[in-house]
Amino acid sequence: MGKKTGFMDYTREEEQKRHPLSRLDDWKEYSQRFSEDTLKIQGARCMDCGTPFCHMGLELNGLTSGCPINNLIPEWNDLVYKGRWKEALDRLLLTNNFPEFTGRVCPAPCEGSCTVAISEPAVAIKGIERAIIDKGFEEGWIKPRIPERRTGKKVAIVGSGPAGLACADQLNQAGHSITVYERDDRPGGLLMYGIPNMKLEKDVVDRRIQLLEEEGIEFVTNTEVGKDVAAEQLQEVYDAVVLCTGAQKHRDLNIEGRELKGVHDAMDYLTGTTKSLLNSGFEDSDYIDTEGKHVIVIGGGDTGADCVATALRQKCKSVVQFGKHPQLPDHRTENNPWPQYPLVFTLDYAYEEAAAKYGKDIREYCIQTKKIVGDEQGRVKELHTIRMEKTIDASGKAVFHELPGTEKVWPVDYVFIAIGFEGAEHPVLEAFGVETKNNKIHAPYGTYTTSVEGVFAAGDARRGQSLIVWAIHEGREAAREVDRYLMGSTVLP
């Protein structure tokens, strides 16, 4: 432990962010790294408590508490405080293949369960994690680790999101020959197309892919397994297959007017924007442009927030986000005690930007869309809504009642539907004939084996839409089980 009284001497500082209005003029990352002096102080706030809940990685009350990859947080906090950066990096890389992703976009369930957070703001764990890895790259400490021996075993990984990448990295380091198949034109899964550039710049993703390639992993893009290449072909050529195909089957809104021009799924909007940005800096005009338009985002979650931030950068005329649930409280309620993930009101980056531009929170709570109305050309023009009241019934279930007299008509040019994901997309699962359950691949946690011999599954395809940090966790664990399957025992953690 660096400074015994650090948690009493120093207060938490937030990572620097560029001014909300100025960042609307570009697509660069909005958050910036702590300075080294600040980091030392922030590292010193860690109490090195006997039981570091921050790295327990459990699900409590359906929410993630602590770090799912069990990052050795108190150890690297202490090393950062002492200025021993290289050692901090070595400790970080023991458990996390890609801290440059989690250090930028993880919602940091570690901080919600930090012991300091019982009475004070948590240690700034995520910001410290990012600084360690960024410094590692800058100092040239991150070099390709080319495996010294090869086992002669070949593994195909389907899907190049964080689960597929973590699995590939681990198995490659164990000496197996890895090919990653990706149906999109660039590897990275939702890291590349999903999470917008202002949260995670794409050269950060490219840098990691390039490193993995230099280490010997082969990436085959523009190739949909089950369509462009048969499942049987993979099973014949490879000793094992790991399905990391994500859970991108999105929920749709089955209401009147859904088919109108200008009504889109959120993922089409976000993916198209990033593709156009990367391909041509928007010169190709191959994206949905909301400049000067009224935008409504249906769905109160993070995907919706990313749509809001995207529309703001496109200089939309107005943007509103509809959510079904009431606004979260400012402080934890009795039902949400520490060390559970704190369900409290926050001003995420998109809302901070919207508030700076329009002078208010652009979220509308407890609202239900009844129908979408179009003009004579079949273009969306209005959205009809009603307010709802949320109550809890005798069995503890949330029940929503419409409130008569609260009907409203909203003028709109673009509607983006961001109401979540149903689960894994089925064609590839059917091609392999793997058993599914509740729209997910049935592969028990811990073994990751599917109903088909030699075929494993990890990440969102197995657990449903989740977080990058869980995808990395599952990719690592599945790699361990594949290694055991191929070699009889395993060298992987």
How many residues touch ligand FAD (CB under 6 A)?
Answer: 41
Exactly one of 129, 169, 182, 460 binds ligand SF4 (CB under 6 A); which one? 129
Peptide bond before residue 187 is cis, with ω within 30 degrees of 0: no
Q: What whole-number distance in Å separates Cα of residue 458 and Cα of residue 475? A: 6
Q: Does 105 bind ligand SF4 (CB under 6 A)?
A: no
Q: Shortest Cβ distance from residue 111 to ligand SF4 (Å)?
A: 7
Assess 159 for contact with ligand FAD (CB under 6 A): yes
Q: Does 155 bind ligand FAD (CB under 6 A)?
A: no
Residue 76 CB contacts under 8 Å (≥ 6 apart), including other chains: 43, 88, 91, 92, 128, 129, 132
Q: How far is CA 419 from CA 252, 262, 264, 351, in A?
A: 7, 17, 12, 18
483 class by beta-carbon count within 10 Å (0-12 exposed, 13-18 middle, 19+ buried) = buried
Residue 156 as a binder of ligand FAD (CB under 6 A): the answer is no
468 touching ligand FAD, by CB under 6 A: yes
CB 452, CB 434: distance < 8 Å:
yes
- The option from ligand FAD, ligand SF4, none interacting with 110 (CB < 5 to 8 A, set by class) reads ligand SF4
Q: Which pair of structure tokens corresponds to residue 73?
A: 């947080």
| 40 vs 275, beta carbon nearer ligand FAD | 275
Q: Could you give the CA distance from residue 264 to residue 311 in angstroms, rounded to a whole number?
A: 13
User: Which CB, 97 or 160, lies closer to ligand FAD?
Assistant: 160
102 binds ligand SF4 (CB under 6 A): yes
Q: Which is nearer to ligand SF4, 109 or 262 (CB)?
A: 109
Residue type, 323: G
**List 44, 156, 190, 479, residue binding ligand FAD (CB under 6 A):** 190
Tell me if 42 contacts ligand FAD by CB under 6 A.
Answer: no
CA-nearest of 128, 159, 63 to 471 is 159
Pairing of the two strands 440-441 and 294-298: unpaired
Q: Which region, judged by CB under 6 A, interacts with ligand SF4, from 63-71, 294-302, 311-319, 477-485?
A: 63-71
Under the binding rule (CB under 6 A), the answer on residue 466 touching ligand FAD is yes
Q: Given the rule CB under 6 A, which of 2-10, 32-40, 240-248, 347-355 is the region that contacts ligand FAD?
A: 240-248
Say whether residue 2 binds ligand FAD (CB under 6 A): no
- Scored b (16 or more CB within 10 A) or e, 196-228 reads bbbbbebebbeebbebbeebbbebbeeebbbee
Instruction: Choose the contact partner of 6 out of ligand FAD, ligand SF4, none; CB within 5 to 8 A by kind.
Output: none
108 binds, among ligand SF4, ligand FAD, none (CB under 5 to 8 A by kind): ligand SF4
Q: Is 194 an interacting residue with respect to ligand FAD (CB under 6 A)?
A: yes
Contact with ligand FAD (CB under 6 A) among 460, 477, 481, 483: 460
Q: Under the criterion CB under 6 A, does residue 109 sit at the interface with ligand SF4?
A: yes
Relative to beta strand 363-364, strand 318-322 is parallel
Which residues contact residue 65 at a Cβ distance below 8 angstroms, ignoring those fewer than 6 apart?
Answer: 53, 56, 57, 58, 59, 109, 112, 113, 339, 340, 341
Q: Annotate each residue in 164-183 with x if it binds ligand FAD (CB under 6 A) or - if it does not, as one string.
A: x----------------xxx
Number of H helices, E strands in the chain: 16, 20
Residue 483 binds ligand FAD, judged by CB under 6 A: no
Q: Which helix (H) or strand (E) holds 296?
A: strand 294-298
Q: Does 123 bind ligand SF4 (CB under 6 A)?
A: no
Contact 472, 70 (CB under 8 A): no
- The dihedrals phi and psi of 230, each to the nearest 5 degrees, come to -75, 150
Residue 208 is which amino acid? R
Binding of ligand FAD by 248 (CB under 6 A): yes
In the complex, the residues that contact ligand SF4 under the rule CB under 6 A are: 67, 69, 71, 73, 102, 106, 108-110, 125-126, 129, 469
Residue numbers at the binding site for ligand FAD (CB under 6 A): 105-107, 158-164, 181-184, 189-190, 194-195, 199, 224-226, 244-246, 248, 270, 302-303, 306, 425, 428, 459-461, 465-469, 471
